[in-house]
Amino acid sequence: MTGAGGGSGSVAIALLSKLGYRVVASTGRAEETAYLRDLGAVEVIDRRTLSEPGAPTGNERWAGAIDSVGSHTLANVLAQTRYRGAVAAFGLAQGMDLPGSVLPFILRNVTLAGIDSVNAPQDVRLAAWSRLATDLDLGKLARATQVVGLADVPGLAEPVLRGQVRGRTVMDVSA
Ligand SMILES: NC(=O)c1ccc[n+]([C@@H]2O[C@H](COP(=O)([O-])OP(=O)(O)OC[C@H]3O[C@@H](n4cnc5c(N)ncnc54)[C@H](OP(=O)(O)O)[C@@H]3O)[C@@H](O)[C@H]2O)c1
């Protein structure tokens, strides 16, 4: 999971670990290692190992991956995904470019799946929400969530943009 310390990354780690996967979390925040392990990551790696330009293919490290970062990170993840593995891409925290090659697709049969939640059809949403009801540990969700009031939002903007806010931030509009 790339962008592991973010809101989506935190939820994905909790889900994948509950489903029995051995989750590796890529983060720029080593200080959040205990948090990521609590969510279910068995290994935490420095995101700089994925964020620089890399080779078209590399050692096969990942059975599958979920990427919230894009750019060189996604290209490197694809290059390191094992034969017939799959990568789901839904974010662009590093950038919207994809500076890689077709080799992972044509030599290793890797699948790149695009994820869009905004226009997801209702039946897909219902299926996803049903899976969240059964597959998401609510204790972990609570530990990955901070609730703020409207008045807190201006003060949170800078830390969010600097990548200093971990997990999800839920705005309680009545607070
Ligand atoms: N496709 C969709 O439907 C959909 C839905 C929701 C969100 N998104 C997108 O998915 C991404 C993640 O959303 P989110 O809500 O989880 O955001 P978030 O809470 O801000 O998390 C993003 C994480 O990405 C990492 N990151 C930030 N800047 C980076 C950089 N320059 N290079 C590498 N990693 C960086 C950080 O994790 P670490 O500190 O752990 O490194 C950060 O916590 C965003 O780009 C968002 O726009 C897409």
For residue 29, the ligand 1 atom closest to its alpha carbon is: 39
* Cβ–Cβ < 8 Å for 42, 20: no
DSSP 3-state of 173? coil
- Residue closest via CA to ligand 1's atom 27 equals 93
- The answer, yes or no, to whether any atom of ligand 1 lies below 6 A from the CB of 94, is yes
In a domain, 160, yes or no: no
129, 152 Cβ separation under 8 angstroms: no
Block residue for tokens 């989506």: 8
Domain that includes residue 49, residue range: 7-144
3-state secondary structure (DSSP) of residue 19: coil
**Domain contains 78:** yes
CA 58, CA 170: separation in Å to the nearest integer? 39
Token representation of residue 153: 């939002």
In a domain? residue 161: no
| Domains of the chain: total | 1
Q: Are strands 81-89 and 41-46 parallel, antiparallel or unpaired?
A: unpaired
CATH number, position 126:
3.40.50.720
Assess if residue 168 is contained within a domain: no
Q: 102-161: per-residue pLDDT in tens?
A: 999 999 999 999 999 999 999 999 999 999 999 999 999 999 999 999 999 999 999 988
Task: Flag whether 164 is in a domain.
Answer: no
In a domain, 158, yes or no: no
Ligand 1 proximity of 89 Cβ (cutoff 6 Å)? no
Tell me whether residue 44 is in a domain. yes
| pLDDT digit string, tens, across residues 5-44 | 999 999 999 999 999 999 999 999 999 999 999 999 999 9
Closest CA to 136 of 37, 3, 4, 14: 14
The finding on whether 168 has its CB within 6 A of some atom of ligand 1 is no
For residue 15 and ligand 1, the question of a CB distance below 6 A is answered with: no
SS3 at position 97: coil
The pTM (predicted TM-score) of the whole model is 0.96
Whether 174 is in a domain gets the answer no
Given the CA of residue 25, which atom of ligand 1 is nearest to it? 40
Residue nearest to atom 18 of ligand 1 (CA): 6
